[in-house]
Every structure is written in structure tokens, then in C-alpha cells.
């Protein structure tokens, strides 16, 4: 097999960086063209070819024209992923935690609620992880957003904006799924429909906890109850927020077994979830400041598949990069009607021997 030349490697790195930036933008703005699995494949390849690429340190950015900007109090990075049990066990061997805190991974949009002296002052979308859009007026209309707290506390609460399956069925069947419907409503200029959304919370930090200390060599440890994931959830519940259920496990295989049980019952849940979030119990401030914290992982569910027919092939252009996109007979998959699917690249297209009329398996996570 011929070795790739340095020029060829650099060309591929540039191609991967452009693709990742493009698909991050599409995903965070509710217009994904490829599955999570395909995106993860691009990410993993770039990580091997160029581990120091600045693209790997960049958080995907949502955008909503016309809203003022605001800085986050809490770090809002993204999560590393484990696609199957083998990858999860490998992550466990790497981090070696004494205890694993496990929560449902809600399929929604991140939101930070900022409080000053116990009063809600801002609600900020994820944005680029540092600065987001201030959608406070819309957030005030959502369930699970207290206008005031029982105490004069200042800090930030992180949650997920979601739409229940019941609400989607009753009011928004024209939208592909709950996530797409919620993403559109939370950023409407007139706020219409925001009252049909809920914010479910899972993280909290007092003001200053993640601030840099000028001239400091070490980051101070967080104080109770904000140093412990279970204590944080208890605090949130007492303060009037809707919170995720969290379970504690000691052995990795217990988490794998729990994931299997959740997969069997997830269709009965009121909200869409696409996996589990597994994290250390004790909060590590330095780790939370990473673009992808190492002491937590998204333990995803297996890929969902559907069979359909290839009707045509179009080409998606991004600069000098052309990606083949299959136009397929519409098929329902993971709550979405799929009409287009990425064919990755021309090598994949040739290697699969695809022809118009071929029966194909569509995969989506």
C-alpha cells in the first residue's frame, strides 16, 4: 500500500478541518446533514492526523441573529463520546474513577441561567462555549425557570431546553422531532411557543468558581455543595429547578447493564434521550475548563438503522471540498423523515458499488 505524502496529509487535514467546522455549524443551528457517527469519524481522523489542530479545541456554535451577546459563568464545552461498550470500558480504564455518576443524555439545546442576588438576570445559549445569545425574555416563559430563588444566591445553572414528546405530538407534528422544534422556538424573536418548552437542569456553580485568579498557580477547590455532582442536584431541586435523575455505580459493567435497561424502556420516557452522561462524582475545576472534559463521557446508544432506496446523488460543495449526498426514498428513522444521507466521499461511493436504485441502509445516531 502506498504511503501518504506529507502534502497529501496536509491536504486531508485541511479538508477535515473545513468539514468539521461546517457540520458543527449545521448541527448547532438545527440543520444537520450527517449523523453523529459520521461527524465523530471526521473528528477521530483529524485527532490522529493533527492532534494539535485548533479546530479540535473549538466548541460548536449556535447562532441567533438579533439577540444580544452575553458571557458564560459556567464552562460550556462539549463531551467526549463512547459509541459502544468497548469504548466506554476503555474510557473507564483511562480515568479510573472510584464512582460513576450516570444521568440521561437529553436530546435538546443547552442553556445557562444566570442569577444575581437570587433573581434571574440572563438566560444564555451555548454559543461558542464562552459567549452565547441572551434569550432571557423567551426563557422566562419556559417551565422550570424560576424567576427568583429561595436565597440571595449569585451564580449560574446549566440545563437543557427540551420539548416533551406529548407536546410534539399535539402541537408540532410538522417538525421532524422534538429537538428541532425546541431549537426553533427558543430563538423566536417574538417568544411565541416558548411556553411549551421546559428546562431540565444538571449543573450549577456560584459566581467566581471558574474565574481565573490573576497570578495564581493553582485553582482553588470548589466548596460544598458545589464540589459534588449529587449534592449539586439536591441543591437545584431545593431551589425549585427541574432536575435529572442521577444514579451512582461503582463498577463499569454496572453502567453497561443500566444502559441496556434504559435502551429497552426509553420509548416510554416523556423526553427524547440519545444516551447516558457518565461523570466523576467530585468536581474538577481544571478538567471542566477543557473544551472536552476528560472526566465525563457521553455513552451513546447503538446506531439506529432503516432500509431504503437510493434515488439520486448530489454534490455538496464546501470550498474546494465536494461531498456526495445520496437522495433516498423517504424513510422514518429516530423520529425524523430522512430524504438525504451523506455518502462520506468518492472512495466510499465506489467501494460500495452504489447505483441508482440500490437498496441502502441508512444509519443515524
Catalytic positions, please?
A: 105
- Taking phi over 0 as left and psi of -120 to 50 as alpha, with beta for the rest, 117 belongs to left
**Half-sphere exposure of 185 toward its Cβ, with a 13 Å CA cutoff?**
26
Residue 292 Cα distances to 80, 264, 295, 298, angstroms = 6, 29, 9, 11
Residue 210 Cα distances to 127, 219, 283, 311, angstroms = 18, 9, 11, 52
Task: Identify the sign of the CA torsion 343, 21, 175, 316.
Answer: negative
Q: How far apart are CA 248 and CA 258, in angstroms?
A: 11
What DSSP state is assigned to residue 50?
-
262: closest CA among 278, 281, 280? 278
Amino acid at each position: 500500500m502506498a504511503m501518504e505524502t506529507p502534502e497529501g496529509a496536509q491536504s486531508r487535514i485541511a479538508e477535515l478541518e473545513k468539514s468539521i467546522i461546517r457540520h458543527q455549524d449545521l448541527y448547532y443551528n438545527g440543520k444537520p446533514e450527517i449523523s453523529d457517527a459520521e461527524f465523530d469519524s471526521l473528528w477521530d481522523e483529524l485527532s490522529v492526523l493533527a492532534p494539535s489542530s485548533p479546530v479540535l479545541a473549538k466548541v460548536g456554535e449556535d447562532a441567533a441573529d438579533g439577540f444580544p451577546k452575553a458571557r458564560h459563568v459556567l464552562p460550556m464545552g462539549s463531551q467526549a463520546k463512547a459509541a459502544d461498550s468497548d469504548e466506554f470500558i476503555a474510557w473507564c480504564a483511562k480515568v479510573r474513577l472510584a464512582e460513576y455518576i450516570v444521568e440521561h443524555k437529553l436530546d435538546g439545546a443547552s442553556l445557562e441561567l444566570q442569577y444575581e442576588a437570587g433573581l434571574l438576570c440572563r438566560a444564555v445559549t451555548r454559543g461558542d462555549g464562552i459567549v452565547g445569545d441572551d434569550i432571557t425574555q423567551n426563557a422566562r416563559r419556559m417551565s422550570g425557570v424560576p424567576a427568583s430563588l429561595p436565597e440571595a444566591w449569585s451564580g449560574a445553572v446549566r440545563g437543557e431546553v427540551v420539548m416533551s414528546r406529548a407536546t410534539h405530538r399535539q402541537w408540532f407534528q410538522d417538525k421532524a422531532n422534538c429537538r428541532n422544534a425546541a431549537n426553533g422556538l427558543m430563538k423566536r424573536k417574538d417568544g411565541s411557543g416558548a411556553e411549551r418548552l421546559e428546562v431540565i437542569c444538571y449543573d450549577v456553580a456560584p459566581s467566581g468558581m471558574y474565574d481565573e485568579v490573576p497570578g495564581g498557580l493553582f485553582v482553588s477547590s470548589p466548596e460544598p455543595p458545589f464540589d459534588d455532582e449529587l449534592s449539586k442536584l439536591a441543591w437545584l431541586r431545593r431551589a425549585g429547578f427541574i432536575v435529572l435523575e442521577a444514579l451512582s455505580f461503582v463498577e463499569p459493567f454496572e453502567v453497561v447493564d443500566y444502559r441496556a435497561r434504559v435502551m429497552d424502556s426509553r420509548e416510554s420516557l416523556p423526553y427524547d434521550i440519545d444516551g447516558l452522561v457518565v461523570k466523576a462524582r467530585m468536581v474538577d475545576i481544571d478538567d471542566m475548563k477543557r473544551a472536552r472534559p476528560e472526566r465525563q463521557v457521553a455513552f451513546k446508544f447503538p446506531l439506529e438503522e432503516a432500509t431504503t432506496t437510493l434515488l439520486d446523488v448530489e454534490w455538496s460543495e464546501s470550498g474546494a471540498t465536494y461531498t456526495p449526498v445520496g437522495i433516498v426514498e423517504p424513510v422514518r428513522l429516530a423520529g425524523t423523515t430522512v430524504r438525504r444521507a451523506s455518502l462520506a466521499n468518492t472512495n466510499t461511493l465506489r467501494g460500495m458499488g452504489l447505483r441508482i436504485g440500490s437498496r441502502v441502509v441508512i444509519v443515524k445516531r
